[in-house]
Amino acid sequence: MAEIQVIGAGLAGSEAAWQLAQRGHRVQLFEMRPGTLTPAHQTGRAAEMVCSNSFKSDDPNSATGILKAEMRRMDSLILRCAEATRVPAGNSLAVDRDAFSEAVTAALTAHPHISIRAAVVAEPDLSKPTLVATGPLTADPLAEWLARVTGSERLHFYDAIAPIVERDSIAMDIAWKAARYDKGGADFINCPLNQDDYNRFLDALLAAEMAPLHDFDTPYFEACLPIEVMAQRGRETLRHGPMKPIGLDDPRTGRWPYAVVQLRQDTLAGDHFNLVGFQTRMKWGAQKEVLRLIPGLEQAEFVRFGSIHRNTYVLAPKVLDATLAVKGVPNLWIAGQLSGVEGYLESAAGGLASARFLDETLRTGSARSFPRETMLGALLHYLANASLKDFGPTNAMIGLLPELPEGEVDTRTAKRAGGRAGVKAAKGAAHRARALAALETHIALEGHPA
């Protein structure tokens, strides 16, 4: 079998290297860490998660639930390691970051067909099949090489990281454990704010000193906005975003608070919790002052402060086809967040897909794109066909899937049974069934065991 270069051992590169090795290919996996760290990473381990410890909703009929089902059907290493290191997170899949990256690293290191090399790659040797999955924090020399060979400038957006605090420093006589609407276990710590608390917090947040931005033309990613940017859009924005109180009954009052800050377990030991949706670019001293205004966090001890970094991605509709191959450049594929998907789950899915595309190309001379009825196929179709003018990183969304055939869902019965939520669930279930059936057909025609 072929010798393949995979550059970058993040979520996408790790998944791709494993999938290719499982198909008998010899894989050289290049990773510049720990010798060269990024502004966000702290270790040299594979698949290190920095912004969050979540792989999103486990609702089987949601976009991410469908994508996970597709990935499990194709034996995703990332999801297998995530399940083995999961921590309580209600109806979501969240992991102990250290245990997770250690599990992925151990699997890759032990594989006889994978050779891991600690090195910065500035100009890959395209005489060999090459997958670039260096993520949003791609080093400048490689990013500049990509821009040259693709004839397309690289694009950027700002992304941010949420703080983590010690569990024992949270005042549990004020906070309480629960999941929204009691879905799943009582896995989140909830800090309640009354109207005065909220206004005091908001005023301090808006007045806090921020870390400087080096490129004012670079936009933020809308799905991961810093809390101060949300606050600047209106005083009620946070209450309808990460601080929304709906579905959380304060046991002391029996009512929803005016606002709530949720914290999610970050380690298997349960000693660290991250502030959900509280990405920030406040300076560290300001973070201590402002976040300690939240009831229950007055004595919070910070394990990690929030921060901001600039992310890189390519103009996918110009650069990539629906199999993640670079147009007009033989032997080159791009996967993960660098390709224009956003999110750890989506990045891992892109790595899995790229490995199957690369393998099929080497075996047959060309690769078939995934059916658009699958969540993975719909996501990759968007990358290849989105408007050049409006293109930006995207998550898995039901809206990317083709419409269901008329009459596929009995909306009247579903609405009677569960209202709008019932209709949404019924449509999601229909999308899931169609996606998995389409995937089975695709795999059967591949001529390779899945």
The tokens for 39 are 């502004």
Looking at residue 447, its pLDDT comes to: 57
| 229 vs 376: CA distance, rounded Å | 31
Bridge partners (DSSP) of residue 164 are 274, 304
What is the chain's pLDDT, residue by residue, as a tens digit (450 residues)?
A: 789 999 999 999 999 999 999 999 999 999 988 877 777 677 889 999 988 899 999 999 999 999 999 999 999 999 999 999 999 998 999 999 999 999 999 999 999 999 999 999 999 999 999 999 998 888 889 988 998 998 877 666 677 789 999 999 999 999 999 999 988 789 999 999 999 999 999 999 999 999 887 655 556 666 678 999 999 999 999 999 999 999 999 999 999 999 999 999 998 999 999 999 999 999 999 999 999 999 999 999 999 898 877 778 898 999 999 999 999 999 999 999 999 998 999 999 999 999 999 999 999 999 999 999 999 999 999 999 998 877 878 899 999 999 999 989 988 898 888 898 899 999 999 999 999 999 999 999 875 544
The tokens for 307 are 């921060």
Residue type, 187: D
Closest by CA position to 419, among listed 427, 411, 428:
411
Architecture of domain 161-310: Beta Barrel (2.40)
Beta carbons of 34 and 370 less than 8 angstroms apart = no
Query: Helix or strand or coil: residue 193?
Result: strand
CA atoms within 13 A on the CB side of 111: 26
What is the reported pTM?
0.81
The tokens for 403 are 């419409």
Q: Are strands 26-31 and 155-161 parallel, antiparallel or unpaired?
A: unpaired
| 449 vs 443: CA distance, rounded Å | 8
* Helix or strand (DSSP H, E) at 338: none
Question: Do 161-310 and 3-52+59-154+314-446 fall under one CATH topology?
Answer: no
| 268 vs 427: CA distance, rounded Å | 35
CB atoms within 10 A of CB 407: 7
The CA-atom distances, in angstroms, between 352 and each of 30, 32, 148, 284 are 17, 21, 26, 37
The tokens for 269 are 């030991």
Closest by CA position to 338, among listed 308, 309, 310, 314:
314
Alpha carbon 441 to its chain's center: 28
The tokens for 89 are 């997170």
Positive or negative CA dihedral for 184, 419, 68, 441? positive
Angle at CA of residue 280, ends 276 and 285, nearest 5°: 115
Closest by CA position to 47, among listed 156, 165, 142, 133:
133
CA atoms within 13 A on the CB side of 19: 34
Core vs surface per residue 414-435: b (16+ CB within 10 A) or e: beeeeeeeebebbbbebbbebb
Residue type, 48: E
Positive or negative CA dihedral for 120, 123, 127, 132? positive
Q: Tell the residue number behind the tokens 């009354």, with chain if given.
A: 194
* Residue 296 falls in which region: left (phi positive, over 0), alpha (psi -120 to 50) or beta: left
Q: Which sequence spans correspond to the domains of the chain?
A: 3-52+59-154+314-446, 161-310
| 158 vs 144: CA distance, rounded Å | 19
Core vs surface per residue 341-359: b (16+ CB within 10 A) or e: bbbbbbbbbbbbbbbbbbb
| 353 vs 321: CA distance, rounded Å | 13
**CATH, domain range 3-52+59-154+314-446:** 3.50.50.60
Query: Helix or strand or coil: residue 188?
Result: strand
| 201 vs 328: CA distance, rounded Å | 53
